[in-house]
Structure 1
Amino acid sequence: MNKHLLLTGCLALGFLFCRCEDGSLVDGSSPSMNEVMPTRASAFFNSIGVNTHIGFYDTNYADFQGMLKPRLLELGVKHIRDGNIWGGNSGDTPLTRCKELEQYGINLLLICFGGDPVVDDPVERAGAFGQMLWGIEPVNEPDLNKKPGEWEQHARNEQQRVFTAARSIPGKQVPVLGIALAENVDNPSRLGNLSSQLDFGNLHLYASGLHPTNQDFGNYWGTRMEVAISKARLICGEKPLIITEAGYHNYENSNQFRGCSEKAAAIYHVHLPFVYYNAGVSRTYIYELLDWNKAGVVDDMNMHYGLIRADGSAKPSFRALKNLLSIVKEEEVSYELSPLKFGIDPTVKDIEYTLLQKQDGSHWLALFRKVNVYDVKTHKDIEVDPVNVNVEFAEIPSSIDMYIPNQSDQIIQSLKTGDKISLQLGAELVLLKIK
Structure 2
Amino acid sequence: MNGATFRWAMALSFGMLMIGSIASIGSPLAHAQVPSNAQPLRSDAFLDSIAVNTHIDYTDGAYADVRKVAADLAWIGVRHVREGTPGTSAPLSSYVWLAQQGVKFSFVIRPDVADSLLQLERFDAAAPRSVAAVEGFNEINNFPVRYNGLTGEPAGFAAQQAIYQHVHGNARFANVPVYDLTGYDVAHVSTRAGAADYANQHVYPQNGEQPAWNANGDKWFAWSLDGLRKFGLPLVVTEFGYFTIPQAGWVRIGVDEPSQAKGVLNGLFDAASLGVTRTYIYELLDEKPDPQNTNGEMHFGLFRNDHTPKPAANTIRNLTAILRGASVGSSAGSPTNDSPSYTLHGMPESARSLLLAGGNGHYLLALWNEVPFWDRAAGKPLNAGGVKVQVEFERAMRSAALYDPTVSADPQQRFDASQKLTVDVPDHVILLDVTPGS
TM-score of the aligned structures, taking structure 2 as reference length: 0.83
Q: 1:123 to 1:361 in 2, by over 3 A?
A: same
Q: SS in structure 1 opposite 2:173?
A: coil
Counterpart pick for 2:191 among 189, 193, 206: 193
Aligned residue number for residue 414 of structure 1: 414
Aligned residue number for residue 58 of structure 2: 56
Structure 2 Cα separation of the partners of residues 279 and 132 of structure 1: 27
Q: SS in structure 2 opposite 1:73?
A: helix
Runs of 4+ in 1 over 6 A off after TM superposition: 215-218
Aligned residue number for residue 367 of structure 1: 367
Aligned residue number for residue 211 of structure 1: 210
Q: Calculate percent identity across the aligned residue pairs.
A: 24
Task: State how 1:47-126 maps to structure 2 within 5 Å.
Answer: 47-65=49-67, 67-83=68-84, 85-88=86-89, 93=91, 95-115=92-112, 117-121=114-118, 122-126=120-124
Task: State how 1:294-305 maps to structure 2 within 5 Å.
Answer: 298-305=293-300
Worse overlay, 399-408 or 380-389: 380-389
Contact 2:86–2:116 (8 Å) recurs in 1: no
Please list the CA deviations of residues 205-230 of structure 1 after superposition, one character each: whole Å capped at 9, or x if unmatched.
Answer: 11122111137999xxx973222212
Structure 2 Cα separation of the partners of residues 62 and 297 of structure 1: 22
Contact 1:207–1:215 (8 Å) recurs in 2: no
Please list the CA deviations of residues 102-138 of structure 1 after superposition, one character each: whole Å capped at 9, or x if unmatched.
Answer: 2333211001012252244454554354210011001
Aligned residue number for residue 341 of structure 1: 341
Structure 1 Cα separation of the partners of residues 290 and 423 of structure 2: 48
Task: Say which structure is richer in helix.
Answer: 2
Structure 2 Cα separation of the partners of residues 215 and 132 of structure 1: 39
Task: State how 1:395-406 maps to structure 2 within 5 Å.
Answer: 395-406=395-406
Aligned residue number for residue 15 of structure 1: none
2:41 counterpart of 1:43 = no
Q: 1:433 to 1:168 in 2, by over 3 A?
A: same
Q: 1:88 to 1:135 in 2, by over 3 A?
A: same
Q: CA deviation at 1:406?
A: 0.3
Structure 2 Cα separation of the partners of residues 252 and 366 of structure 1: 28
Counterpart pick for 2:319 among 320, 324, 337: 324
Structure 2 Cα separation of the partners of residues 256 and 389 of structure 1: 33
Aligned residue number for residue 175 of structure 1: 177
Structure 2 Cα separation of the partners of residues 145 and 413 of structure 1: 49
Structure 2 Cα separation of the partners of residues 288 and 347 of structure 1: 32
Please list the CA deviations of residues 160-197 of structure 1 after superposition, one character each: whole Å capped at 9, or x if unmatched.
Answer: 1101110122243221111111x7xxx22345532331
What amino acid is the match of 1:163?
Y
Aligned residue number for residue 10 of structure 1: none
Contact 1:403–1:412 (8 Å) recurs in 2: yes
CA RMSD across the alignment? 2.9
Task: State how 1:175-324 maps to structure 2 within 5 Å.
Answer: 175-181=177-183, 187-190=185-188, 193-208=191-206, 209-214=208-213, 224-233=220-229, 237-253=231-247, 257-293=252-288, 298-324=293-319
Give structure 1 stretches of 5+ with no counterpart: 1-18, 25-29
Count how many residue pairs are aligned between Structure 1 and Structure 2. Answer: 397
TM-score of the aligned structures, taking structure 1 as reference length: 0.83
Q: Which one has more relative contact order, counting CA pairs under 8 Å at least 6 apart?
A: 2
Give structure 2 stretches of 5+ with no counterpart: 1-25
